[in-house]
Structure 1
């Protein structure tokens, strides 16, 4: 009897393990698979986007992952997109490095009917399901207006930053010029097409100051450049305002300690979170907005620390 009882117990345990394993596998299989392919993962900005997405994966029970090219190139991003294509995700979210990856994205939507959401950078691509990110013309306008409040009509400023073939940068510059014109501020120098290597921005800013020693302020297309501009100004003992765009922690530190007066900031954490939230809606067959605006914030000394503490907790 004892042996028979042990046998029954053993069989019961085995069946329970099999059933539990089957249920666990079913639960995992039921989770929608969502992949987010960013422009990179090495910068503070993309780490914040990643943190937002990973929080949403957890909150919504999604089988998700975030990847990005180590060198930030379109070629490497294309390779990652091709690899992900073979994995058959339920939804793809991506921040295109540039328009050269669009033919790969077409394969998702046309060949496999996989919805594709764009985050951070919009593209004039008819097959996208949605764009989740900033209205970059509006961001540029707010940057120009913020700088204008610190200057006088007739003052001269410089615009410096990335390649205007990238729509994000082009829209920001256009928006900034509109606001500066309205404020009566003169754009005396414009240098774009600068890579994110630091050295080039440093060199070009020094040249601008040499050619236009009377400029009273600077607008940059993004914070990587703004950091270099601030470094050059510090070296030369100048305290003119510099307005960047992304609100990364390194810029916020400069605002908190009074080195910079303020900046405009995107909301990269919200971009990551909301892109995943909208991807989930797509898997359920729900409609999503073609443009999900994640907003622009003005950051000054009074609110810099609060935002800095929040971001530092995300990427520590």
Structure 2
């Protein structure tokens, strides 16, 4: 091989190494095709709970189906509001073509969202917020979800029965609205709300909260929890006392649905987290291309109890693969 050929071979090898280095991906979660495709950022409340894993799965699948780059991030817990704001700002600094956000505390993040909306389409999922420039909100009407869950729980009880409400992190609009809806429905049906306690959407905290409530009052007949993790924590406390208490959660996670089949939880208000994630990316791509998007898209709810739990479980197992 002459010197010229060796030189071109060396240059070719160096170029290949540089290209390989440039394709290294260290993002929290992504599905991608090529740099020429739209880049969609998704900032969730957390990536640590089953509910948000379904949202993440939907967003990833949309990225694959539509052939776009999707980066998904979220803090370690829903209560880590400042961490979420920092992640949002970090994603915006990377100049995405559109950004999908589920704000843990809308009031805290609105200034950042308003600033972002001047340069990039901003779409909200799961939890809504009012700010100038928002493209759309995709999700369940959380008040309605709580209200329907409260109605179903009340239908299994007697007027005057004692009921407990377990809420999420204080200031979380999604869980706050669910509790408000459930409370209105339960009180209208004649139930007596004897305790309303926050458990930060955490299973272990809900267990502790319910243990304390039952120490003071063992005549509780029903519990509505603003998410399934908290409902499952409540269930552990109730089972430890060997009490017969109807427990409703919210979200429709696989663990909750399996618990219903096993005779644990009474029911759950199933939202459509997978669809929220999928549609969030789908409409973000449309917005990035300048296409019209409806200002509000309702993803709907289903009440899951023993009669339809198996069907729901099979669906969740399919999307969880």
Corresponding residue to 1:202 among 207, 216, 220: 207
Which of 124, 134, 155 aligns to 1:149? It is 155
- Secondary structure at the aligned position of 2:307 is classed as helix
Q: 1:256 aligns with which of 253, 261, 269?
A: 261
The answer to whether the 8 A contact 1:140-1:174 is kept is: yes
For each residue in 1:149-171, what CA deviation from the matched residue of structure 2 results, as whole angstroms up to 9, or x when unmatched? 10111212111122342211221
2:174 equivalent in structure 1: 168
Tell me if structure 1 keeps the 8 A contact 2:221–2:244: no
Q: Which residue in the other structure is 1:101 paired with?
A: 109
Describe the SS at the equivalent of 2:163. strand
Q: Is residue 131 of structure 2 the alignment partner of residue 131 of structure 1?
A: no
Is it true that 1:75 corresponds to 2:85 in the alignment?
no
What CA distance in whole angstroms lies between the structure 1 residues aligned with 2:202 and 2:117?
35
Task: Give the number of equivalent residue pairs.
Answer: 287
Matches within 5 A, 1:4-43: 28-43=34-49
Secondary structure at the residue paired with 1:117?
A: strand
| Equivalent pair of 2:147/2:185 in contact (CA under 8 Å) | yes
Change (3 A) 1:179 1:64: same
Aligned-pair CA distance for 1:294: 0.7
Q: Distance in 2 between matches of 1:37 and 1:244?
A: 24
TM-score, structure 2 as length reference: 0.84
Q: 1:124 to 1:211 in 2, by over 3 A?
A: farther
Partner SS state of residue 302, structure 1 = coil
Q: Does 1:272 align with 2:280?
A: no
Q: Comparing 245-254 with 97-106, which one deviates more in the overlay?
A: 97-106
Q: Which residue of 1 aligns with 2:70?
A: 64
| TM-score normalised by structure 1 residue count | 0.85
User: For structure 1, which segment, 279-288 or 89-98, has the greater mean C-alpha deviation from structure 2 after superposition?
Assistant: 279-288
Q: Which of 219, 223, 244 is matched with 2:224 structurally? A: 219
Name which of structure 1's ranges 63-72 and 270-279 shifts more when overlaid on structure 2.
Answer: 63-72
2-side partners of 1:48 and 1:167: how far apart?
Answer: 20
Please state if 1:309 is matched with 2:317.
Answer: no
Contact 2:203-2:231 within 8 A present in 1 as well: no
Question: Secondary structure in 2 aligned to 1:301?
Answer: coil
Aligned to 2:7: none
Native 8 Å contact 2:163 2:194 kept in 1: yes
Name the Cα RMSD after superposition.
1.8
- Residue 30 (structure 1) shift: 4.1
Q: 2:242 aligns with which of 237, 242, 246?
A: 237
1:85 alignment counterpart:
92
- Alpha-carbon distance, 1:197 to partner: 4.5
Deviations along 1:63-112, one digit per CA (max 9) or x if unpaired, are: 222122235422222222222112111100011121322222223113xx
State the shift of 1:287 in Å.
Answer: 1.9
Equivalent-residue separation in structure 1 for 2:251 and 2:46 (angstroms) = 15
Q: Does residue 1:288 correspond to 2:293, yes or no?
A: yes
Displacement, 1:124? 2.6
1:237 to partner: Cα distance = 0.6
Ranges in structure 1 where 5+ consecutive residues have no aligned partner:
1-26
- Name which of structure 1's ranges 137-146 and 254-263 shifts more when overlaid on structure 2: 254-263
Unaligned runs of 5+ in 2: 1-32
Q: Answer yes or no: is the 8 Å Cα contact 1:239–1:259 preserved in 2.
A: no
Please give the per-residue CA displacement for 1:159-184, whole angstroms capped at 9, x wherever unaligned: 11223422112211111122112222
Whose radius of gyration is greater, 1 or 2? 1
